Amino acid sequence: MKTIKGPAIFLAQFMGTAAPFNSLEGLCKWSADLGYKGIQIPTWEKSLINLDLAAESKTYCDELKGTIASYGLEITELSTHLQGQLVAVHPAYDLLFDNFAPDVCKNNPKKRTKWAVSQVKNAAKASKNLGLNVHGTFSGALLWHTAHPWPQRPEGLVEMGFKELAKRWLPILNVFDENGVDVCYEIHPGEDLHDGITFERFLEATGNHKRANILYDPSHFVLQQLNYVQYIDHYHDFIKMFHVKDAEFNPTGKSGTFGGYQNWKDRAGRYRSLGDGQIDFKTIFSKLTQYGCDVWAVMEWECCIKSPKQGALEGAPFIQSHIIEATQKAFDDFAGAEIDQEKLKKILGI
């Protein structure tokens, strides 16, 4: 068993134009003062990291690590969620997802995809230069618009979709393999990898690529009404990253899983700050520790009611209180004795 590392914080939702949220050093001091020990860095935020330079320069990466370490912090992982999303975009979403791409790639899906692929590959090289062995991202989606099949899906559509998704990701996965880094897909609504079955489909389509792994975030499973505890039983060997985010699901006579196009605060399923939702984190931390999952517990804040300031303040002690120091001995060791083969035979009556 392994003791989960933490607490850590994903910086993406805390970026801003005012200090301390507009610079790496400002966010490092703020995070450390709140009690966090690690930071997860969104690589699309240029004020936090120059991804292209990090992919090329070990010196730059050493300096970056040194700056972060000066605040008593370390980098838990890099994230390319936005770039990973752009690896596979259905044309229906082109206009919306162009927001994630640089201006030179807008209105040009092929150029946008090529840029996204190069960005995620650079994240593999940057991770190696930073001494990291796991990386978080999204899979993108070609099939999401058919998740609720009406009209019915044509025979072979799903198989073709996952074959194409794997085709796009295999060259990326191979670069991660060359750099000794695992790709952890956040299993998330809106992605083609959104539950256990879809992860298995993708894994099979990649030929069970050893670098295809999971970023586990139970909040997305609450909104899908999927058993997030049993998920760990099924996929613990693949769980290499962990987002600690709370959620709740309160269906009414007017709306349920799909939410009626309402704002987040009015939906049946909504994300909450840690401790304000319905997720059983005691069991989750126990399961992950039991299975020896070597992960950082990284808070991701996405609450529709509580302020990010309060959510971040409460997050570090919440995570710390759930981290289990894994035992290195059995509770009944005191009653044990040296192995005696003859004594064992007598106990068995043989």
How high is the pLDDT of residue 238?
Answer: 98
How high is the pLDDT of residue 335?
Answer: 62
Taking the CB of residue 20, how many other CB atoms lie within 10 A of it? 16
First-to-final CA distance of the chain = 35
Compute the distance between CA of residue 288 and CA of residue 324 in angstroms, rounded to an integer.
10
Domain spans of the chain? 5-348
Q: Mind listing the pLDDT tens digit for each residue in 95-118? A: 999 999 999 999 999 999 999 999
Residue 215, classed as helix, strand or coil, is strand
Q: Is 32 exposed, middle or buried, given 0-12, 13-18 or 19+ CB atoms closer than 10 A?
A: middle
The encoded tokens of residue 3 equal 């003791």
Compute the distance between CA of residue 241 and CA of residue 106 in angstroms, rounded to an integer.
31
Please check whether the domain covering 5-348 is classified as CATH 3.40.50.1980. no
Taking the CB of residue 123, how many other CB atoms lie within 10 A of it? 31
Compute the distance between CA of residue 52 and CA of residue 155 in angstroms, rounded to an integer.
42
**How much of the chain exceeds pLDDT 70, in percent?**
99
How high is the pLDDT of residue 336?
Answer: 74
The encoded tokens of residue 94 equal 């082109």
Is residue 9 within 8 Å of residue 39, measured between CB atoms? Answer: yes
DSSP label at 130?
Answer: T
In this structure, of 147-151, 310-314, 338-342, the range with the lowest mean pLDDT score is 338-342
Q: Mind listing the pLDDT tens digit for each residue in 172-208? A: 999 999 999 999 999 999 999 999 999 999 999 999 9
Per the DSSP assignment, residues forming a β-bridge with 346 are none
- pLDDT mean across residues, the chain: 96
Residue 277, classed as helix, strand or coil, is coil
**Sign of CA pseudo-dihedral 185, 191, 197, 203:** negative
Q: Mind listing the pLDDT tens digit for each residue in 132-176? A: 999 999 999 999 999 999 999 999 999 999 999 999 999 999 999
Alpha helices in 105-218, H assignment, sequence order: 109-129, 157-178, 196-205
How many H-runs (helices) and E-runs (strands) does the chain carry? 13, 10
**What is the rounded average pLDDT of the residues 27-50?**
98
